Amino acid sequence: MGGGSLAKEYPNEYFLAAFGAACLNYPLWRASAVGQSGFRVAAVSIGGVGIPATLTPYVYAFAPPYKGMVGVVLGMTWARAAIFWGSDRGKEFLQSHGVKNESISTLLPPLCVSTMVQCINQPIVRASITLQNPRFNCPDTVSAIKFIYEKYGLRGMWHGTSAGILKTVPKYCTAVVIKDYMEEVLPPVDPSSPTVDTDRLWRSAAKSATAGVAGAALTNPLDVIRNEMFKKNTPLLETVRNLYKELGRKFLVRGMGKNMIAVAIPVGSTIFFTDTLIQMSKNRQARKAQQQSA
């Protein structure tokens, strides 16, 4: 994924990449939401063979009905597209207007954009996570939002925003910083290589995977806190105290495995898909230019 003029010239590629990653991620996100929220999922058996409890959330996540899927996919799509496109475009804007400090130009755009996105998306996020509770009877995101509004009022729709910001902003700031760092330190692809396109894909895969894993590992405790706030409608500090009282320090890693999958894969795949789509567009433009000059 490139900064500079790439963000200005290829906004559609950022959006399509985010959409593809969101579609791929929905069942993984669903399993993570169930695990981190501590929702109880009924035991599952296939062909009379019981499924281990550790795998039950994944079976539940991949099985219909896919509650809240449209809201989750659309919410993730615009959010990640805005964050990654805004981060790359914002970095270019700041550098072109005299900001010489690399740390400021890299960190400030994702900090601002991800905070804005989290605040706007919060009612959808809370409704989507609430829907994943097997005991919750609302069928879709809109009805879940109405339920939350009727039960908790307007403030209830933004309950957990503080934990959401604490979770989302560091995750994407970390992902963007690592992405840009890897872009600088990885060896450039030799344009004369007979496998130049494949080489670019492998380079992008290394950069994307590193950025995704770093962001997921950092923010798992904040995911747990946010989801618990949604489940019990308790304030931030009270939620932390209750989690520590119930689980001790183990609450920091509750759902870690699922979160590594549910966060690292979509963040990494968004970066990777964007790189791939931009490269495809560049190749298409080059072929078109050659045909016109022939």
For 44-95, give the DSSP string: -EETTEEPPTTTHHHHHHHSSP-TTHHHHHHHHHHHHHHHHHHHHHHHHHHH
Cα separation, 242 vs 197, in Å, equals 52
Cα separation, 141 vs 131, in Å, equals 7
Mean pLDDT of 186-190: 91
Is the pLDDT confidence value at 3 over 50? no
Instruction: Output 48 or 171, whichever has higher pLDDT.
Output: 171
Q: Which CATH architecture has domain 5-284?
A: Alpha/alpha barrel (1.50)
* 214 burial via Cβ count (<10 Å: 0-12, 13-18, 19+): buried
Instruction: Output 114 or 59, whichever has higher pLDDT.
Output: 114
Token couple for 193 = 């290589």
Cα separation, 248 vs 99, in Å, equals 44
Give the rounded percent of residues in the chain with a pLDDT score beyond 70: 91
SS3 233: coil
Matching residue, tokens 């993730």: 76
Mean pLDDT of 170-194: 90
Mean pLDDT of 225-243: 84
Instruction: Output 134 or 213, whichever has higher pLDDT.
Output: 213
Look at the alpha carbons of 172, 174, 177, 183 in this order and tell me if their dihedral is positive or negative.
negative
| Residue ranges of domains in the chain | 5-284
| Cβ–Cβ < 8 Å for 99, 162 | no
Is the pLDDT confidence value at 207 over 90? yes
Is the pLDDT confidence value at 181 over 50? yes
Instruction: Output 100 or 206, whichever has higher pLDDT.
Output: 206
Selection from 208, 285, 197 nearest residue 9 by Cα: 285
Token couple for 183 = 């872009």
Is the pLDDT confidence value at 2 over 50? no
Selection from 181, 211, 185, 186 nearest residue 271 by Cα: 211
Selection from 13, 12, 148 nearest residue 68 by Cα: 148
What lies within 8 Å, CB to CB, of 183 at 6+ separation is 2, 207
Across 45-59, 173-187, 259-273, least confident range: 45-59
Average pLDDT, the chain: 85
Q: Please give the model's pTM, rounded to 2 decimal places.
A: 0.78
Name residue 79's amino acid.
A
Reported as a single tens digit per residue, the pLDDT across 91-148 is 999 998 888 888 899 999 999 999 999 999 999 988 988 888 777 888 888 999 999 9
Is the pLDDT confidence value at 19 over 50? yes
Across 126-135, 143-152, 169-178, 257-266, least confident range: 257-266
Instruction: Output 243 or 52, whichever has higher pLDDT.
Output: 243
Selection from 25, 35, 87 nearest residue 268 by Cα: 25
Upstream peptide bond of 11 is cis (omega within 30 degrees of 0)? no
| Cβ–Cβ < 8 Å for 175, 272 | no
Highest mean pLDDT out of 30-44, 46-60, 102-116: 102-116
